[in-house]
Amino acid sequence: MGELKLSENAKEVLNARYLRRNDKQEIMESPEELFAAVARAVAHAELLLGNARQAAFWEERYLQLLTSFEFLPNSPTLMNAGKPLGQLSGCFVLPVEDSIEAIFQAIGDMALVQRSGGGTGMSFSRLRPKDDFIATTSGMASGPVSFMEIFDCATEHVKQGGRRRGANMGVLRVDHPDVMEFIEAKKGDHRLRNFNLSVGVTDRFMKAVQRSRSYELIHPRTGQVTARVDAAKVFGRIAAAAWETGDPGLLFLDAINRTNPTPNMGRIEATNPCGEIPLLPFESCNLGSINLARMVTRGREEGRIDWEKLRSTTRDAMRFLDDVIEVGKYPVPAIEKATRATRKTGLGVMGFAETLVRLGIAYDSKEAIETADEIMRTVSEEALSVSRELARERGVFPSWRGSVCEKSQQPVRNATRTAVAPTGTISIIADTSAAIEPFFALAYRRSHVLEDKTMTETNPLLLEFLERYDLQAERIMAEVTEKGRLSEVKDIPEGLKRLFPTALEISPEHHLQIQAAFQKHVDNSVSKTVNLPQNADVEEVKQVYWRAWELGLKGVTVFRYGSKSRQVLSLGAGEKPYEYDHASKCDQGECEV
């Protein structure tokens, strides 16, 4: 294996986050050695379940998969495979029950998960509301939000894998008596900084909004109705808080549970921090992403997707993820038991925006939606096929009896197989666009990824295409670096401009249509941000949330540019936030193409 070709930002991320260090914090391994260690550690599952010849074959195949950047697993696998910690899963959901003992047990479990590199999701819906009488102490309950602040404080002081601060998803049902305090918990930008927040909404609530009716708030311990409130007003307050702070998002609990593969084991109440993995209490899931840009034939003409390569990569990646479950170490015994019971994986994609450019397809077009549908359908079908083969080879997941899979007479190794994760740092390593997002900008600043360091990024794909069109690359890139987008640069062919729209230039409806196209073929969920310009109003946020429910999505996140003081991505060097008239982008729900 020769030296890997890495971008400068990829080298920086690997050095800061992934490469092994000694007690003097000196780097002790190369990127090549890192990937070799990961391939060897994961292929050890083949030895445990097969034989040495099988293990050697898959070690070589996994190494090729990783070093070609055709596929990368989630960060904990890259950080910990082949190392003493050995915790390889990225996503966890922990239960938070209504007792002081259970709450602090959950805090301890969360710390162990985050120390090992995992992110945690928790529903606080079982906690009694604020000012509720506590018989054992004759005192009054402080409510879910106050306890969330303790979780937040603990997270603040536990770096994931010793290399990054932890992340949480906090969920509260919309019918919890403290829902209004939860909705507005992040106002002022100083509370719950290590949490993403999502309100767990039901179809019943959304229909009450639609019909301008009230709905009931339910005491979680007694099941008694504590109040009736106007659904539309609560919905409006959710949208207003999201407009101001970026939180909360929405989790559509009924949509999630309609595809729960093991309803006999309970209802799903929470997801991982970015929302793409709904899990039962104590379950974990390991993620991985196929680099779609590596599935495209390249040349001076428009590329095409190599569908056989995509299928082959999916097959190898799916086996890799099942092997990860086998060799991973787990921070809490209950997590190992629950994870092995369902063997959930989350195979997804990254590089979608780059892929569209190489195919000559505009992101904000009907053809992009059709391409998303075809790509994810292919990945999903092949992942299911592999899981069936693994079931024949290794056995079905232990909780298969009583599951939806048994009822449909479908022997599979993994209760879920696919998800679309945000791929924040692994897409930097692979030098491609993040997940299924459009380009945020063509030049931008990335903050709060490597502690307080800011990374400046320009789009190398744009430079490649400027040279292909024989344009003045140096002048144009200078303007793009200032403005962050191509649409305002003079003397650019319209066809080229159409290939490089940025997130704030794409209508909210189209963002949702792309998410829906992927979600249609995903077992778990899809992490996707609907970006809004700074001049968007609360009504536009409400419309996004409403359309997400209509489209059958499992969750939705809205981010209005500038609504968070610590936002990760900022536009180019000297530009003003982009503003546009949303109404001109969509007509009767059909996006401009």
Residues identified as active-site: 272, 274, 276
Please name the residues in contact with 503: beta carbons below 8 A apart, sequence gap of 6 or more: 437, 438, 439, 440, 441, 511, 529, 531
Write down how long the chain is.
593
In whole angstroms, give the CA distance from residue 468 to residue 500. 15
> Within 10 A of 404 (CB to CB), how many other CB atoms are there?
15
Roughly how many angstroms between the first and final C-alpha of the chain, as a whole number? Answer: 45
In whole angstroms, give the CA distance from residue 93 to residue 127. 16
Separation of CA 531 from chain center: 15
In whole angstroms, give the CA distance from residue 241 to residue 444. 26
In whole angstroms, give the CA distance from residue 11 to residue 104. 39
Q: For Cα atoms 46, 331, 419, give the angle at the middle one, nearest 5 degrees.
A: 65
168 strand-pairing partners: 120, 195
Sign of CA dihedral 416, 173, 231, 582: negative
In whole angstroms, give the CA distance from residue 267 to residue 117. 26
H helices within 50-157, ranges in order? 52-67, 75-80, 100-115, 144-156
Question: Given 3-state DSSP classes, what are the helix, strand and coil percentages for the chain, each rounded to the nearest 5?
Answer: 45, 20, 40
Run of H or E including 393 = helix 366-394
- Scan for tokens 């207003």, then name that residue: 240
Q: For Cα atoms 467, 470, 472, give the angle at the middle one, nearest 5 degrees.
A: 80
User: Which pair of structure tokens corresponds to residue 291?
Assistant: 């680099």
Using CA atoms, how far residue 302 sits from 298, 309, 355, 356, in Å, is 7, 18, 11, 10
Task: Give helix 307-327 / helix 366-394 axis angle, nearest 10°.
Answer: 50
CB 193 within 8 A of CB 293: no
